[in-house]
Amino acid sequence: MRQHKLSLCKEHYLEWLPEQTERFIQKYNMFTHKDKVLVAVSGGKDSLTLWEILWKSGYVADGLYINLGIDGQTKYSEMSRQIVLDFARERALRFTVVDVEEEFRETVPQIAARTLRGKAKPCSVCGLVKRHIMNRVARDAGYNILATGHNLDDEAAALFGNTLSWAKGYLIRQNPVLESIHPGVIKKVKPFFRFYERETAAYAVLSRITYVYDECPYSIGSKTIYYKGLLNQLEADRPGAKLHFFLAFLKAKKEGLFAQPPEKCGLELKTCPVCGQPTTVPDTCAFCRMMDKVKSPTVKG
Ligand code: Q46
Ligand code: ZN
Protein backbone atom coordinates (compact mmCIF):
# COMPACT_ATOMS: atom_id res chain seq x y z
CA MET A 1 0.00 0.00 0.00
CA ARG A 2 2.17 2.83 -1.34
CA GLN A 3 -0.27 5.42 0.03
CA HIS A 4 0.42 4.24 3.59
CA LYS A 5 4.04 3.18 2.93
CA LEU A 6 3.02 -0.18 4.34
CA SER A 7 3.34 -3.80 3.19
CA LEU A 8 1.56 -6.61 4.96
CA CYS A 9 1.38 -10.36 4.60
CA LYS A 10 -2.01 -12.08 4.35
CA GLU A 11 -2.25 -12.86 8.04
CA HIS A 12 -1.51 -9.31 9.15
CA TYR A 13 -3.60 -7.75 6.41
CA LEU A 14 -6.66 -9.65 7.64
CA GLU A 15 -6.05 -8.16 11.08
CA TRP A 16 -5.14 -4.68 9.86
CA LEU A 17 -8.35 -3.91 7.95
CA PRO A 18 -10.76 -4.76 10.81
CA GLU A 19 -8.54 -2.85 13.28
CA GLN A 20 -8.57 0.21 11.05
CA THR A 21 -12.34 -0.11 10.60
CA GLU A 22 -12.78 -0.10 14.36
CA ARG A 23 -10.48 2.91 14.64
CA PHE A 24 -12.53 4.88 12.09
CA ILE A 25 -15.85 3.88 13.71
CA GLN A 26 -14.61 5.34 16.98
CA LYS A 27 -12.73 8.33 15.58
CA TYR A 28 -15.75 9.58 13.65
CA ASN A 29 -18.30 8.65 16.35
CA MET A 30 -20.20 6.38 14.01
CA PHE A 31 -21.72 3.92 16.50
CA THR A 32 -20.99 1.70 19.49
CA HIS A 33 -21.77 -1.86 20.52
CA LYS A 34 -25.00 -0.58 22.07
CA ASP A 35 -26.41 0.54 18.71
CA LYS A 36 -28.51 -1.50 16.31
CA VAL A 37 -26.93 -1.33 12.89
CA LEU A 38 -28.61 -2.12 9.59
CA VAL A 39 -26.06 -2.82 6.83
CA ALA A 40 -27.25 -2.18 3.28
CA VAL A 41 -25.83 -5.06 1.25
CA SER A 42 -25.78 -5.18 -2.52
CA GLY A 43 -23.82 -8.41 -2.96
CA GLY A 44 -20.66 -6.49 -3.93
CA LYS A 45 -17.31 -6.80 -2.17
CA ASP A 46 -17.56 -3.63 -0.07
CA SER A 47 -20.92 -4.20 1.58
CA LEU A 48 -20.33 -7.92 2.23
CA THR A 49 -16.87 -7.22 3.66
CA LEU A 50 -18.34 -4.51 5.89
CA TRP A 51 -21.07 -6.85 7.13
CA GLU A 52 -18.51 -9.59 7.82
CA ILE A 53 -16.19 -7.26 9.77
CA LEU A 54 -18.98 -5.73 11.86
CA TRP A 55 -20.33 -9.18 12.66
CA LYS A 56 -16.89 -10.53 13.60
CA SER A 57 -16.26 -7.45 15.76
CA GLY A 58 -19.38 -8.24 17.78
CA TYR A 59 -21.64 -5.41 16.60
CA VAL A 60 -25.40 -5.88 16.30
CA ALA A 61 -25.36 -5.69 12.50
CA ASP A 62 -28.17 -7.14 10.39
CA GLY A 63 -28.41 -6.96 6.62
CA LEU A 64 -30.83 -5.37 4.20
CA TYR A 65 -30.93 -6.48 0.58
CA ILE A 66 -33.10 -4.56 -1.88
CA ASN A 67 -34.00 -6.48 -5.01
CA LEU A 68 -34.10 -3.74 -7.63
CA GLY A 69 -35.14 -6.05 -10.45
CA ILE A 70 -32.18 -5.14 -12.66
CA ASP A 71 -31.88 -8.28 -14.66
CA GLY A 72 -31.81 -8.14 -18.44
CA GLN A 73 -29.00 -10.24 -19.92
CA THR A 74 -26.68 -10.08 -16.95
CA LYS A 75 -29.19 -11.26 -14.31
CA TYR A 76 -27.47 -8.78 -12.00
CA SER A 77 -30.18 -8.63 -9.31
CA GLU A 78 -30.89 -12.34 -9.37
CA MET A 79 -27.20 -13.14 -8.98
CA SER A 80 -26.57 -10.63 -6.22
CA ARG A 81 -29.67 -11.73 -4.31
CA GLN A 82 -28.49 -15.34 -4.27
CA ILE A 83 -25.01 -14.32 -3.16
CA VAL A 84 -26.36 -12.24 -0.26
CA LEU A 85 -28.70 -15.04 0.85
CA ASP A 86 -25.88 -17.63 0.77
CA PHE A 87 -23.53 -15.26 2.61
CA ALA A 88 -26.05 -14.66 5.40
CA ARG A 89 -27.08 -18.30 5.73
CA GLU A 90 -23.50 -19.58 5.91
CA ARG A 91 -22.88 -17.25 8.86
CA ALA A 92 -26.38 -17.47 10.37
CA LEU A 93 -26.84 -13.69 10.05
CA ARG A 94 -30.19 -11.91 10.27
CA PHE A 95 -31.34 -10.03 7.20
CA THR A 96 -34.35 -8.47 5.48
CA VAL A 97 -35.10 -8.64 1.77
CA VAL A 98 -37.27 -6.02 0.08
CA ASP A 99 -38.40 -6.86 -3.43
CA VAL A 100 -39.24 -3.66 -5.30
CA GLU A 101 -41.37 -5.41 -7.91
CA GLU A 102 -43.36 -7.33 -5.31
CA GLU A 103 -43.99 -4.21 -3.31
CA PHE A 104 -44.56 -1.61 -6.02
CA ARG A 105 -45.65 -3.85 -8.90
CA GLU A 106 -42.76 -2.65 -11.07
CA THR A 107 -38.98 -3.04 -11.08
CA VAL A 108 -36.67 -0.03 -10.74
CA PRO A 109 -35.95 0.18 -14.51
CA GLN A 110 -39.73 0.00 -15.19
CA ILE A 111 -40.51 2.74 -12.67
CA ALA A 112 -37.69 4.84 -14.11
CA ALA A 113 -38.91 4.42 -17.68
CA ARG A 114 -42.18 6.13 -16.71
CA THR A 115 -40.56 9.16 -15.14
CA LEU A 116 -38.79 12.18 -16.50
CA ARG A 117 -36.08 11.76 -13.88
CA GLY A 118 -35.22 8.26 -15.04
CA LYS A 119 -35.98 8.30 -18.76
CA ALA A 120 -32.35 8.19 -19.91
CA LYS A 121 -30.90 6.16 -17.04
CA PRO A 122 -32.56 4.67 -13.96
CA CYS A 123 -29.80 5.69 -11.50
CA SER A 124 -31.45 8.75 -10.02
CA VAL A 125 -34.77 6.91 -9.54
CA CYS A 126 -32.86 3.92 -8.18
CA GLY A 127 -31.12 6.16 -5.61
CA LEU A 128 -34.44 7.65 -4.51
CA VAL A 129 -36.05 4.21 -4.14
CA LYS A 130 -33.08 2.77 -2.23
CA ARG A 131 -32.86 5.74 0.17
CA HIS A 132 -36.59 5.55 0.88
CA ILE A 133 -36.60 1.78 1.51
CA MET A 134 -33.42 1.81 3.63
CA ASN A 135 -34.82 4.52 5.86
CA ARG A 136 -38.21 2.91 6.16
CA VAL A 137 -36.91 -0.58 7.02
CA ALA A 138 -34.43 0.82 9.55
CA ARG A 139 -37.06 3.02 11.19
CA ASP A 140 -39.81 0.37 11.30
CA ALA A 141 -37.54 -2.38 12.60
CA GLY A 142 -35.94 -0.21 15.29
CA TYR A 143 -32.42 0.21 13.88
CA ASN A 144 -30.76 3.47 14.79
CA ILE A 145 -27.80 3.26 12.39
CA LEU A 146 -27.71 2.63 8.66
CA ALA A 147 -24.28 1.55 7.36
CA THR A 148 -23.21 1.38 3.73
CA GLY A 149 -20.02 0.01 2.19
CA HIS A 150 -18.91 3.13 0.28
CA ASN A 151 -15.13 3.25 0.02
CA LEU A 152 -12.66 6.06 -0.60
CA ASP A 153 -12.81 5.65 -4.38
CA ASP A 154 -16.60 6.14 -4.28
CA GLU A 155 -16.37 9.15 -1.99
CA ALA A 156 -13.47 10.79 -3.84
CA ALA A 157 -15.21 10.32 -7.22
CA ALA A 158 -18.43 11.83 -5.87
CA LEU A 159 -16.49 14.75 -4.40
CA PHE A 160 -14.61 15.24 -7.67
CA GLY A 161 -17.88 15.39 -9.62
CA ASN A 162 -19.49 17.72 -7.10
CA THR A 163 -16.46 20.00 -7.16
CA LEU A 164 -16.28 20.14 -10.96
CA SER A 165 -19.79 21.56 -11.02
CA TRP A 166 -19.58 23.26 -7.60
CA ALA A 167 -22.75 21.44 -6.62
CA LYS A 168 -23.26 23.35 -3.39
CA GLY A 169 -26.11 21.25 -2.02
CA TYR A 170 -24.21 18.00 -2.49
CA LEU A 171 -20.99 19.44 -1.08
CA ILE A 172 -22.85 20.56 2.03
CA ARG A 173 -24.40 17.14 2.51
CA GLN A 174 -21.48 14.89 1.51
CA ASN A 175 -20.16 13.37 4.72
CA PRO A 176 -19.18 9.89 5.94
CA VAL A 177 -21.43 10.43 8.96
CA LEU A 178 -24.86 11.99 8.54
CA GLU A 179 -26.62 12.51 11.83
CA SER A 180 -30.38 12.08 11.97
CA ILE A 181 -31.95 15.47 11.38
CA HIS A 182 -35.57 14.31 11.50
CA PRO A 183 -37.38 11.55 13.44
CA GLY A 184 -38.07 9.76 10.15
CA VAL A 185 -34.41 9.68 9.14
CA ILE A 186 -31.81 7.24 10.47
CA LYS A 187 -28.19 8.22 11.10
CA LYS A 188 -26.09 7.11 8.11
CA VAL A 189 -22.47 6.03 8.29
CA LYS A 190 -19.77 4.83 5.88
CA PRO A 191 -17.18 2.97 7.98
CA PHE A 192 -15.05 2.14 4.87
CA PHE A 193 -14.76 5.69 3.55
CA ARG A 194 -11.02 5.82 4.21
CA PHE A 195 -10.20 2.53 2.48
CA TYR A 196 -9.12 2.37 -1.13
CA GLU A 197 -11.23 0.06 -3.27
CA ARG A 198 -8.20 -2.21 -3.70
CA GLU A 199 -8.00 -2.56 0.06
CA THR A 200 -11.56 -3.80 0.56
CA ALA A 201 -11.22 -6.03 -2.53
CA ALA A 202 -8.01 -7.54 -1.12
CA TYR A 203 -9.78 -8.32 2.15
CA ALA A 204 -12.72 -9.93 0.36
CA VAL A 205 -10.43 -12.11 -1.77
CA LEU A 206 -8.08 -13.08 1.09
CA SER A 207 -10.94 -14.01 3.39
CA ARG A 208 -12.69 -15.90 0.59
CA ILE A 209 -15.90 -13.91 0.55
CA THR A 210 -17.98 -14.78 -2.51
CA TYR A 211 -19.27 -11.55 -4.05
CA VAL A 212 -20.77 -10.33 -7.33
CA TYR A 213 -17.89 -9.37 -9.63
CA ASP A 214 -20.08 -7.71 -12.23
CA GLU A 215 -21.12 -4.13 -11.68
CA CYS A 216 -24.71 -3.08 -12.27
CA PRO A 217 -25.13 -2.81 -16.08
CA TYR A 218 -26.32 0.79 -15.70
CA SER A 219 -23.01 1.83 -14.15
CA ILE A 220 -21.18 1.16 -17.43
CA GLY A 221 -20.04 4.41 -18.99
CA SER A 222 -21.13 6.43 -15.97
CA LYS A 223 -19.47 9.66 -14.93
CA THR A 224 -18.50 8.07 -11.62
CA ILE A 225 -16.45 5.40 -13.37
CA TYR A 226 -14.81 8.05 -15.54
CA TYR A 227 -13.88 10.13 -12.48
CA LYS A 228 -12.56 7.05 -10.71
CA GLY A 229 -10.27 6.44 -13.71
CA LEU A 230 -8.97 10.02 -13.61
CA LEU A 231 -8.32 9.82 -9.88
CA ASN A 232 -6.50 6.51 -10.34
CA GLN A 233 -4.18 8.16 -12.87
CA LEU A 234 -3.45 10.88 -10.34
CA GLU A 235 -2.93 8.31 -7.59
CA ALA A 236 -0.45 6.37 -9.74
CA ASP A 237 1.79 9.43 -9.96
CA ARG A 238 1.14 10.72 -6.47
CA PRO A 239 0.35 7.90 -4.02
CA GLY A 240 -2.02 9.12 -1.35
CA ALA A 241 -3.50 11.93 -3.51
CA LYS A 242 -6.99 10.45 -3.37
CA LEU A 243 -6.96 10.13 0.40
CA HIS A 244 -5.55 13.62 0.81
CA PHE A 245 -8.21 15.07 -1.51
CA PHE A 246 -11.02 13.64 0.58
CA LEU A 247 -9.53 14.21 4.03
CA ALA A 248 -8.64 17.82 3.16
CA PHE A 249 -12.29 18.32 2.15
CA LEU A 250 -13.48 16.98 5.51
CA LYS A 251 -11.02 19.26 7.30
CA ALA A 252 -12.24 22.27 5.33
CA LYS A 253 -15.83 21.34 6.23
CA LYS A 254 -14.94 21.10 9.89
CA GLU A 255 -13.48 24.59 9.65
CA GLY A 256 -16.74 25.95 8.29
CA LEU A 257 -16.27 25.81 4.53
CA PHE A 258 -19.31 24.35 2.73
CA ALA A 259 -21.53 25.11 5.72
CA GLN A 260 -25.24 25.65 5.26
CA PRO A 261 -25.88 29.34 4.44
CA PRO A 262 -27.40 31.16 7.47
CA GLU A 263 -30.71 31.83 5.68
CA LYS A 264 -31.18 28.07 5.22
CA CYS A 265 -30.13 26.99 8.71
CA GLY A 266 -33.50 27.75 10.25
CA LEU A 267 -35.47 25.99 7.53
CA GLU A 268 -37.30 23.12 9.08
CA LEU A 269 -37.83 19.85 7.32
CA LYS A 270 -41.48 18.92 6.91
CA THR A 271 -42.91 15.44 7.28
CA CYS A 272 -44.41 13.72 4.25
CA PRO A 273 -48.07 12.99 5.10
CA VAL A 274 -47.97 9.70 3.17
CA CYS A 275 -44.75 7.98 4.26
CA GLY A 276 -43.60 10.02 7.25
CA GLN A 277 -40.15 10.69 5.80
CA PRO A 278 -38.77 14.22 5.67
CA THR A 279 -39.25 16.56 2.77
CA THR A 280 -38.33 20.15 2.06
CA VAL A 281 -41.73 20.92 0.51
CA PRO A 282 -44.94 21.25 2.56
CA ASP A 283 -46.50 18.33 0.71
CA THR A 284 -45.79 14.71 -0.25
CA CYS A 285 -42.10 13.85 -0.70
CA ALA A 286 -40.35 13.23 -4.04
CA PHE A 287 -40.59 9.46 -3.59
CA CYS A 288 -44.34 9.44 -2.91
CA ARG A 289 -44.98 11.82 -5.79
CA MET A 290 -43.03 9.54 -8.11
CA MET A 291 -44.81 6.39 -6.90
CA ASP A 292 -48.18 8.09 -7.30
CA LYS A 293 -47.47 8.42 -11.00
CA VAL A 294 -46.48 4.76 -11.16
CA LYS A 295 -49.71 3.68 -9.52
CA SER A 296 -51.93 5.64 -11.89
CA PRO A 297 -52.65 3.65 -15.06
CA THR A 298 -50.87 4.71 -18.24
CA VAL A 299 -53.14 6.59 -20.60
CA LYS A 300 -52.85 5.05 -24.03
CA GLY A 301 -53.60 7.32 -26.95
S1 Q46 B 1 -27.87 3.54 -9.07
FE2 Q46 B 1 -27.62 3.02 -11.20
FE3 Q46 B 1 -26.37 1.90 -9.09
FE4 Q46 B 1 -29.04 1.65 -9.29
S5 Q46 B 1 -29.25 1.54 -11.50
FE6 Q46 B 1 -27.41 0.34 -11.01
S7 Q46 B 1 -25.77 1.81 -11.27
S8 Q46 B 1 -27.60 0.03 -8.82
S9 Q46 B 1 -25.19 2.18 -7.27
ZN1 ZN C 1 -43.41 10.32 1.22
Is the pLDDT confidence value at 91 over 70? yes
Return the best residue to mutate from 121, 126, 225 for the ligand 1 pocket (most ligand atoms within 8 A of CB).
Answer: 126
Q: How confident is the model at residue 176 (pLDDT cuts 50, 70, 90)?
A: very high
Q: How far is CA 220 from CA 123, 155, 223, in A?
A: 11, 18, 9
- Interval 18-56: pLDDT, tens: 999 999 999 999 999 999 999 999 999 999 999 999 999
Q: Which of 112-116, 157-161, 261-265, 267-271 has the lowest mean pLDDT?
A: 261-265
State the pTM of this model: 0.93
Return the best residue to mutate from 216, 222, 228 for the ligand 1 pocket (most ligand atoms within 8 A of CB).
Answer: 216
Mean pLDDT in the chain?
A: 92
Measured in Å, residue 286 CA sits from the centre of ligand 2 at 7
CB 49 within 8 A of CB 75: no
CB 42 within 8 A of CB 219: no
Ligand 1 contacts CB of residue 219 (under 6 A): yes
**CA torsion through residues 216, 170, 106, 39, sign:** positive
**Residues whose Cβ atom is located within 5 A of ion ligand 2:** 272, 274-275, 285, 288
